[in-house]
Chains A and B, each alone.
Chain A
Amino acid sequence: MTSEAVLSRTTKAAASPDFVFWAAALVLAGLVVLASVAPILPMPSYSAMSTARLASPNPAHWFGTDQFGRDLLVRVLFGLRTSLWIGALGVTASTVLGTAVGLIAGYTGGWLDTVCMRALDSLLAFPSLLLAIGVAAILGPGAVSTALALGIVGVPQMARIVRAGTLSESQMQYVEAARSVGTKTGSILLRHILPNVLHLISVQMVMFFVVAVLTEASLSFLGLGIQVPVPSLGSMLKEARDYVGTAPWFVVAPGAALTLSVLALNIFADGLRTHAGSRS
Chain B
Amino acid sequence: MNAAARTAVPYFDMRGLSVFYRSRGSLVRIVDRVSFSVAEGQALGIVGESGSGKSTLALAAAGLLRPEEALIEADQMTLGGTDLLRMSDATRARIQGRRIGFVFQNPHTALNPLLTIGRQLTDHVRWHMGLSQADAEARAVTLLGEVGIGDIRRRMQSYPHEFSGGMLQRVTIAMALACDPELLIADEPTTALDASVQADIVDLVTRLRQDRRLTLIWITHDLALLQHVVDRVAVMYAGQLSEMGATDAVYSAPAHPYTKALLSSVRSLWRDEEGKFEVIPGAPPTPGRLPTGCAFQPRCPLVRSRCIQTPPLLPVDPQHDGEHLAACWAVNGTYAQ
Contact = CB atoms under 8 A, between A and B. Distances in A.
Same complex: yes
Interface string A57-70: 00000000000000
A184 interface: no
Contact of A3 (B16, B65, B67, B70): B16
Contact of A10 (B33, B66, B71, B77): B71
A8 B71 contact: yes
B319 to A, nearest CB: 29
A11 B85 contact: no
A8 B67 contact: yes
B73 A7 contact: yes
B71 A4 contact: no
B73 A6 contact: yes
What is the size category of the interface that chain A forms with chain B?
Answer: 10 to 19
B76 A6 contact: no
A6 B73 CA distance: 5
A9 B89 CA distance: 9
Contacts of A3: 16, 18, 73-75
A5 interface: yes
| Residue among B66, B70, B74, B92 facing the most chain A CB atoms (10 A cut-off) | B74
A15 to B, nearest CB: 16
B310 to A, nearest CB: 10
Contacts of B65: 8
Report which residue of A7, A9, A11 has the largest number of chain B beta carbons within 10 angstroms of its beta carbon. Answer: A7
Nearest to B92: A7
Nearest to A7: B72
B72 A1 contact: no
Task: Pick the most buried of B66, B75, B86, B92: most chain A CB atoms within 10 A of its CB.
Answer: B75
Interface string A210-249: 0000000000000000000000000000000000000000
Contacts of B73: 3, 5-7
Contact of A6 (B16, B33, B72): B72
Interface string B44-79: 000000000000000000000111101111111100
A1 B75 contact: yes
Contacts of B33: 1
B329 to A, nearest CB: 18
A5 B86 CA distance: 8
B322 to A, nearest CB: 23
B20 to A, nearest CB: 10
A11 B71 CA distance: 10
A11 B67 contact: yes
B118 to A, nearest CB: 32
Nearest to A8: B67
Interface in A114-129: none
Contacts of A9: 67, 89
Contact of A8 (B16, B72, B76, B77): B72
Interface in A1-43: 1, 3-11
A8 B74 contact: no
A11 B74 CA distance: 19
A8 B75 contact: no
A257 B65 CA distance: 48
Contact of A4 (B67, B85, B89, B92): B85
Nearest to B73: A3
A1 B85 CA distance: 17
A170 B92 CA distance: 45
A250 B33 CA distance: 70
Nearest to B71: A8
A5 B87 CA distance: 10
A5 B71 CA distance: 11
Contacts of B72: 6-8
A170 to B, nearest CB: 22
A1 B66 CA distance: 24
Interface of B: 16, 18, 33, 65-68, 70-77, 85-86, 89, 92
23 contacts: A1-B16, A3-B16, A3-B73, A3-B74, A3-B75, A4-B74, A5-B73, A5-B85, A5-B86, A6-B71, A6-B72, A7-B72, A7-B73, A7-B85, A7-B89, A7-B92, A8-B67, A8-B71, A8-B72, A8-B89, A9-B67, A9-B89, A10-B71
Given A1-B75, A6-B73, 4 more contacts: A4-B74, A7-B89, A8-B65, A10-B71
Across the A-B interface, give the 6 residue pairs with the lowest CB-CB distance, nearest first: A8-B67, A7-B72, A3-B73, A5-B85, A4-B75, A8-B72
Interface of A: 1, 3-11
